[in-house]
Structure 1
Amino acid sequence: MLNFDTRTVPLNQQHDYWQEAISQVFVPLNCNLPTENPFLGVLETKQWTNLRLVAVKGQTQHVERNWHKIRKDTHDQILMSILLSGNMGINQNGRETMIQQGQFSFYDAYQPYDLHLNGSFDQLVLMIPRSIFQDRFGRIEILSARSFGKDHPLQRLVLNFSESLLSLPHELSLGLQDTLLDQYLDLLGCIVADTGQNQIEKPSKSTTLLQIKNLILQQISNSDLSIHDVAYHLQISTRYVSKLFQQEHTTFGRYLLENRLKQCKKLLCHPSFYPRSISELAIQVGFNDMSYFSREFKKYFGMSPKEMKKEHNLSKF
C-alpha cells in the first residue's frame, strides 16, 4: 500500500514530491502545477487481486504522458477515472472529453494522453490490466477519452459504490475482494454497453462484442444458453457472433465455458459458499454434466474442483 500527502513535506518540496508520487503510483508522468504554494495532493492506494485502486485528492494541474515517458517505462494498463467531485478534461487518440461528478472515462497508459484538472477534485482511479479490460469492456481504442455515466440510471449507484470501495478495510479476504470488484466492473460494463449502443459508433464491432459478453455474463446460470439465443436477443446473425469471437482467437462456446469455470472458481474460493456442495455451485453457473464440468475445470485450472475448494478455504480458517 502506497500513500502520499504533500502536507507532510516542506512547501518548497511539494511540487517535486507530487511529481514523484503520481509517477510511482501510476505511470511515469509530467505534471505541471500552478507556481504558487502550497499545493494539496493526496494519494491512497489499495491493491485488490489484479487491480489497483487509487484515491486521488488534489488541485489544479496538467498531467501529461508522452512517448518519451512511454518508451522509458511501458505499462500495459488501462486507467479509469471516476470523479467523486470536481471536473477533468481527458485527451487521447485525437478525442477530448470532460467528466464531472459521477462520470468516468478510460485512458490507455501505452498511448500518450493529457489530463486537465481544474480546481479542487476528488477521484477514484482504477488501474486495470489490458487483458481484463478487453475481456470486460472491449477495445480501448474505441472507448478511450469518452465520457460515461451522465444521466444513466446506474450513475448514482456507481458513485456510491466507488466511494464505498475506498472505505472498505484492507483485511478483506481475496474471495470478497473478487466478488466486490466483479460487481463493480459489471456495473461499469452495463453503462459502457448502454452508452455504446446509443452513442459510440453504432456499427462498432467492439461495442457489439461487449454487449454479447455482458449478455453471456448475465445469463451464465442458464444451462441452455446458446449462440442462437444471444444472436436473437441482439438481432444479429449467429455467423456474425462467431466472427466477432474469431477476432479474439476464441469461439462463443469457449468464451462461455471459460467464464462459467471462472465464476465457479470464485464461488468455490468464497467462504460464504463453503457449506454448499461443488455440484450445487456448478449448476449455479450453468453446468448440468458434472463429469464434463470436473474434467474441464481440472484442465483449465490444473486441479480438481475439490482440491481448489479445499486449498482456498483452508487458508480462511
Structure 2
Amino acid sequence: MRLFLAPMEGVVDHHVRELLTAIGGIDVCVTEFVRVSGSQQLPDRVFHKLCPELAHGCRTPSGTPVRLQLLGGDPEALARNAAKAVQVGATAIDLNFGCPAKTVNNSDGGASLLREPQRVFEIVKAVRAEVPANVPVSAKIRLGFEDRSLYLDNACAIYEAGANELAVHARSKADGYKPPAYWEYIGRIKEQISIPVIANGEIWSVDDWRRCREQSGCEDFMLGRGLLARPDLALAIHAEYLAEQAHTCLGQGSHSATINPAMSWAQVVSMLYQYYQTTKALYPHKFLGNRIKQWLAYLRLQYPAANDFFERIKQLRLADDIEEAFRIQLGR
C-alpha cells in the first residue's frame, strides 16, 4: 500500500510537503501544477520554483519522492516541457486532468479536457513518447466534467496511451467537493485497466480509508484535505494497515480496529509555528499569516482548539501580534 499527498493548488507547496513528510506515512508527493499555456517552452526557473526538490533528487528533506505535475491542453507543448522537466531533474511526470478551477477550465486545462477522451489520449501518448522509458508518467482525473458519463472512456484513454499509473478523484467537476465521493466508480475503473489506480476523495479518517478500500478495491490512496485536517493521518492509516497484515499473518481471524490517536494540539501548533517562521518573509505584510489561517480552516475540522486560534488571529496583520498569539498557544 502507498499513500500519496495530493497536489492542492495554492495550498500544498514545498514547505507543506516538507512538514507533512517529516511526520511520516506519506510515500509519494505530487507538486502543484506547472501551467503550460499554448506552445510555450518554460525556462528552468519555473520548474524549480514549484518544485525546489528538483535540486535534491526530487525528494523532500525526509526522503519522500516528489512527482512534478504539468497542466495544459497542447500535447506537443506538454511533451516538450515534460522532457525539459526531466532534463532539470524530474524523476516522474504527472498530468493534471482534474483541476476544477474555473480559470483553469476556461483556459483549456484541468477537468475541462475530460469532455474529450481522445485529447486526453493524445496528451498522455505525446508525453509518454517524449520522456525516457524509465521515467514514470502518471495522470490524475476526476470522474468527468458536466457529469460522470465518460469516466471509463477517460481512464481507458490514459491507460491505452501508456501511462504508468492513474489517480482518480471520485467526483466530477460538477460534483465539486460536496460529499459523497463515488468510490465505486474507481472500482469499475480498476476492473478495466491493468495499471495501478490510486483512489482519492473524502478520506478524512482511518475508517474512511477502510471504506474507500472496500468500495474501490484499490491498494493505493491519495490524501488531500483530510491530511491537512489531521497531519498524521497517513501515519495512522499505515499503522492500521500494518496491524491488519500482522493479524492476518498470525492467522487470528477478524481484526478489530486499532486506535490511533491524532497528534496533540500542542504538536500541531508547534508545526504551524515552524511553517509561519519559514514562510513569513515570502509574503507582503498585508498577507502575513494568511497561509496559517488557511491551514487552520482545515485543522478546525479535527481540533476544536484550532477554531479558537483562528478566531484569535483572523484579523491580525502585524508580525508581533501573530507571534504573541502563537506564544500564548505554545504556553511560552
Larger strand proportion, structure 1 or 2? Answer: 1
Q: Which has the larger radius of gyration?
A: 1
- So what's the TM-score if we normalise by structure 2? 0.29
- So what's the TM-score if we normalise by structure 1? 0.30
